[in-house]
Amino acid sequence: MADLRKSDPYMLSRDLTASARLNHQHYLWQQELQSLLHCSVPRPGPSAAIADVATGTGVWLLEAARQFPDIECLGLDISTEQCPPTAWVPSSVKFEAWSFFEEPPCSLRGKFDIVHIRLIGIVIEHDPMPVIRNIAMLLKPNGYLQWEEMNAAQYVIAPPNDTTKTEALHCMNDWMMAQGQSIWVPRVAETLNANGFHNAQRYDVGLDMSLLKYHTTVHVSVWAEIASGLPEGKRKEEFSRTVSKVQEEVKQGVGYGRAKYVFVAQRDE
């Protein structure tokens, strides 16, 4: 399938269905990661500040605010339309519009003890360095970055039997593998260590097969969002046909899921 990127690098929707999918996805990830913060990240003290970059619906940040009620929590995203209104959230939680493709405003530079990001690879095609530089500006010296992405190389396509078709899912997986992030994401730790961070580590998180049915739902929802957002034309028709075939395979009991990476690093002094 062709490259589907548009002038807006975010290929997904921000409507109510997309928000529900993001919230579902968050809780699935937490089932497998077991905690909001990796065990190598020190728990924040009362005066700490956390930023959740590409916060989406803000669900990760709100969970952090419940676990650490005495810290400052800021959710940042190019759009805050999926976030809850200020009146509904604790006073320690705020949301602001900011694109990580731009340098942060002076008011946010060097402010945060911890920066969390998840699944931004979908909008970074080949070179993560501009984004890494901008995110580093948010952190205090020796502050922690926790960055979570899919592991494109470790995936499961699981039919219920040997006769069930899986061609469409393999086609979709091949398309995902062809996107640029499948090349640079596995090397994020090395990239961070060479560019303003130290002690960067990659932690591999396997796929919990008991959750495969639910992960399948999320993946298919993502592909349907991409299809619906494409402009009319040949590539929309081609991609939509593949999504329809995937949905038929899933109805026959085929499952799809991917393992995950967690990267943890400290900003240089």
Give tens-digit pLDDT for 25-38: 999 999 999 999 99
Please state, in angstroms and as integers, the Cα–Cα distance from residue 79 to each residue in 75, 82, 99, 173, 239, following that order.
10, 8, 8, 28, 26
CA-based torsion, 16, 252, 29, 31: positive or negative:
positive
Residue 246 has pLDDT above 60, yes or no: yes
pLDDT band at residue 13 under the 50/70/90 scheme: confident
Residue 6 has pLDDT above 60, yes or no: no
What is the model's pLDDT at position 87?
A: 96
What residues form DSSP beta bridges with 72? Answer: 49
- Three-state SS for 205? strand
Encoding tokens for residue 65?
Answer: 């605010």
- Tens digit of each residue's pLDDT (9 = 90 or more) over 153-179: 899 999 999 999 999 999 999 988 887
What is the model's pLDDT at position 4?
A: 42
What is the model's pLDDT at position 2?
A: 42
Please state, in angstroms and as integers, the Cα–Cα distance from residue 34 to each residue in 31, 39, 146, 226, 247, following that order.
5, 10, 14, 29, 30
Of residues 3 and 106, more confidently modeled = 106
- Percent of the chain exceeding pLDDT 90 equals 83
Cβ neighbours of 196 (radius 10 Å): 16
What is the model's pLDDT at position 173?
A: 92
